[in-house]
Amino acid sequence: MTYPSNALQTAFDHVDNKLQGRDNQGGLTLSGPYGAGKSHGLLVLYHLFNRPTVAQKWIEEWDVSLNLPESSKATIHSTSETDADLIWEPIFEDLGREDILDDIKRYPTTEHLEQLTEEEPVAIFFDEIETWWESFDKSENEELLERNEFFLQHLFEVANDPQEDLFAFATLLDKSQDIKRIVNRTNPYAVDMNDTGDREQIILHRLFETRQDDVDEKAVRDIVSEYVDHYNYPIEIDEPKRYENRMVETYPFHPELLDLLDDVYDAGRERQSVRGVMNVLADTVRRKYNETDLLITCDIEPSAFRGINQTLFNRYVSDKDAVDDIDFGEDLLRTIFLYTIEEREQRASVTECLLGTFKPQKTTVDKLHMSLEGLYGVAHYLDRDSQKENYYLTEDPKLTALVTREQERVLEDDRGSIEETLVDVVRNDVWSDDVYVYPDEDVPDRKELTTVVMLDYLSNGALRGKLDDFFGGRTYQNTVLFVTPKKEIRDDSEIIGKAARVLGAENLRGNVDDGGELASIIRDERRELRNELEDRFGKWVKWSEGPNGDGIRMRRIDVTADVDDVKDKVGRDKTYVGEKIREEVADAENGIAIASMLNDFKQFRRMPILLSDEVFYSAVSQLYRDEKVVLEGDRANFYVPQKSDALPDLTDDLTIHHPDNLDDSIFEEEPEPEPSSENEGEGESSSENNDTTALTQKPETKAVSSKPDSTDSVTVSTEVIKLEGNNARVLRSMADSRINGEKDETTHIDLSYDVDNLSKDELVEFLEQLPSGKHIDATLTVEREDEN
């Protein structure tokens, strides 16, 4: 149910005077800032005429002096939503007077408007008419504006006619001088909805269903008295009994709180006035209703006011930790902050600080006063006047002024040191010294996983180019986790300014007599810069093989400024490790040695990243258990899971095979051995696949004595083994699987290379890379151009 505020009752008086013939004027404007209740008041007035019988009952319940007619008509138009070229058309249509519309030429005359009230009073309402008016283009819509202007002039003229029961109401925001000029020609009454004098009653009525008359005043007074009885020195209150009565009237809010919010929101017309106060108080009631018996200033959430002064809010937040060890320190600081943002005084007296924080169940006024005095010198941005009577938060305290001057100096003369400070804060504060910052720092080329942070905010194309340059020539390309910012850092003036401020404060170290305060400033400034930087990270640069295996592609994945979070995102590719192993060995006819495969994971960005070697070994083990790979050890000793062979130790000399690349005989169960002579079964051996190891001739055997004088001998066989491939890794893998390290010795290597056309210099470089031997015999095939 609407509360009939003083402003509304003023409007009711003007309506009643017109209805009763005591006044000619039926024009009325409702003004005030956003949130003052103009639209709400307009609706109340509309219902007086739209439902006069119901409205009369409500008026009598509130004991308001206003006699409404038994019947009347009303039409209301929110012109922020109305897009009519001619504003009178929806009005006449809504009133059911299309017959008059048919008679209108360019615009309604006073005679047309007088016809509206021939049978009963009529009230026409405009909400935010200025918005509609300002939507017209003055050069393109000159004729429309002129016709609408004549209509509005005639409307307010007829409303000011003592012989006509026509009323015209409009809400104004003081946005259009044209509307003000048109409306004011007949001097309609103006009601300021913000200047009610009973705002507290409006707020209480809107927030709580219980009417003020139904409140248990004795219970309220008992609570209030407990507070007032403790209001002693240094709290100064004139006429305590009258003050107590006001506290009863504003309960459950302390009157100092309501006065403060009134002042804060009155200072700017854009701050929503009553609505702004309502929102803050409603939030406070929701959070605190079951925690306290009276809502005071320190119960307000300061974040609601960050839009009024973001810098002061940041100072308050920065100082909260500093006063953590002081009893009620944060409550006092919160109260001081709220008084500081009030633009008229911008300070809190000792009385206001204590009234805004004191609760008799928690402390005494004396103890609270000691805490207040203890804030000074601890809260970095807190200051007080020389009489110690007023406290306030400052954006730029004395020592901070020195920091500011040094900040300005380094911004002008020392950009390099600013960037070094920025790198230091990113590395040590944001990322806890777990990263390298590129390109400001050298990044080691190593097998171990390394997180690298960039400060440059780059497009995908620019980033790809920069990282291609970085990886060029590096051996271990897949052990580097790059994280880029998601917003500008190095080129952001605000970030550079904050970094310069940190540097400026650190430059003052040892140069000023600060009593330890400078260290606190440096800590706060670094924390503020860290918080800002944390919000700007980040994107992990993920590499993967392109479609159809054509190169690698790059994409960026959201991460927070935490190495563990980056690794968590990387770790989600664990299942892909096994798939990649199987994919790689499927393309290697002769398999790939474990050591070589593990090395590939660390070298090539087309492979998934390994958080640890254990991820790789675990994937190999799982593939073996799932019968997706076969392992091969020394001397063609195969471990076949399909034959229930136990998983061997995953040593570096094992070779991983894809089952599809192996001969069927590998998977056949071996027959039980039969007794045979010592040399039975020897003979020529061969391989069906000449691309893998092959015995090209029958082994030659000879007896060799184990010692020069001994008659004991062992049999030594000579085999020619053929290895084929297109790189050293393949040959090494094949040799690992075919040569027994304990029993075999290689006596001759015959190498044959098919190469692309080599120049003389390239040939010389190739030959220089060959290892030495007892004798090297090289036969070259040379294509030579003959002279004609």
- Mean pLDDT per 10-residue interval, the chain, length 788 residues: 76 91 91 75 90 89 87 86 85 91 90 92 91 87 92 94 93 86 91 70 72 81 94 91 91 90 68 66 88 93 87 88 89 95 87 95 94 80 84 79 79 92 96 92 96 96 95 95 96 95 88 75 94 95 84 93 93 86 94 96 95 94 95 92 93 94 87 54 40 44 49 68 68 71 79 74 76 78 64
For 751, other C-beta atoms within 10 Å of its C-beta total 9
Q: Tell me the backbone φ, ψ of residue 56, rounded to 5 degrees.
A: -65, -40
Euclidean distance between CA atoms 452 and 441, whole angstroms: 9
And the tokens for 759?
Answer: 């120049």
State the virtual CA torsion across 614, 615, 616, 621 in degrees, nearest 10: 80
- The CA–CA distances, whole Å, from 492 to 313, 498, 504, 580 equal 22, 10, 18, 41
Exposure letters 422-447 (e unless 16+ CB within 10 A, then b): bbbbbbebbbeeebbbbebeebeeeb
pLDDT digit string, tens, across residues 340-376: 988 778 899 999 999 999 999 999 999 999 999 988 7
What's the Cα-to-Cα distance from 443 to each of 53, 173, 579, 602, 603, rounded to whole Å?
A: 84, 62, 30, 15, 15
Contact partners, residue 433, CB within 8 Å, separation at least 6: 427
Structure tokens at 215: 């409140």
How confident is the model at residue 696, as a pLDDT? Answer: 39
| 732 contacts 596 by C-beta, under 8 angstroms | yes
Q: What pLDDT is recorded for position 688?
A: 40
> What is the separation, in whole angstroms, between the first and last Cα of the chain?
113
What's the pTM value of the predicted model, to 2 decimals? Answer: 0.42
Q: What is the DSSP letter of 494?
A: H
d(CA 349, CA 671): 101
Give CA separation, 161 vs 29, 191, 618, 655, in Å.
17, 20, 95, 106
Task: Give dist(CA 188, CA 182) in Å, integer.
Answer: 11
339 Cβ contact list (under 8 Å, min separation 6):
260, 297, 345, 346, 347, 348, 352, 353, 356, 392
Question: DSSP character for 647?
Answer: P
* 561: nearest Cα among 437, 477, 470: 437
Hey, which residues does 555 pair with through a beta bridge? 542
pLDDT at 695: 39
The length of the chain in residues reads 788
pLDDT at 60: 86
How many whole angstroms separate alpha carbon 170 and alpha carbon 306?
33
Q: What angle do CA 667, 669, 673 make, to 5 degrees?
A: 135
Do residues 234 and 188 lie in contact, with contact meaning Cβ atoms separated by under 8 Å? no
Q: For residue 659, say if its preceding peptide bond is cis, omega within 30 degrees of 0.
A: no
Domains contained in the chain, CATH given: 6-192 (3.40.50.300), 199-395 (no CATH), 425-567 (no CATH)
Answer whether 320's CB lies under 8 Å from 364's CB: no
Question: Measuring CA to CA, how many Å separate 498 from each of 12, 164, 394, 501?
Answer: 57, 68, 18, 5
**Residues facing 143 on adjacent strands:** none
| pLDDT at 36 (0 to 100) | 67
Contact 609, 481 (CB under 8 A): yes
User: Are the C-beta atoms of 341 and 264 separated by less than 8 Å?
Assistant: yes
pLDDT single digits (tens) 474-493 = 999 999 999 999 999 999 99
- Round to whole Å and give the CA distance between 147 and 109: 11
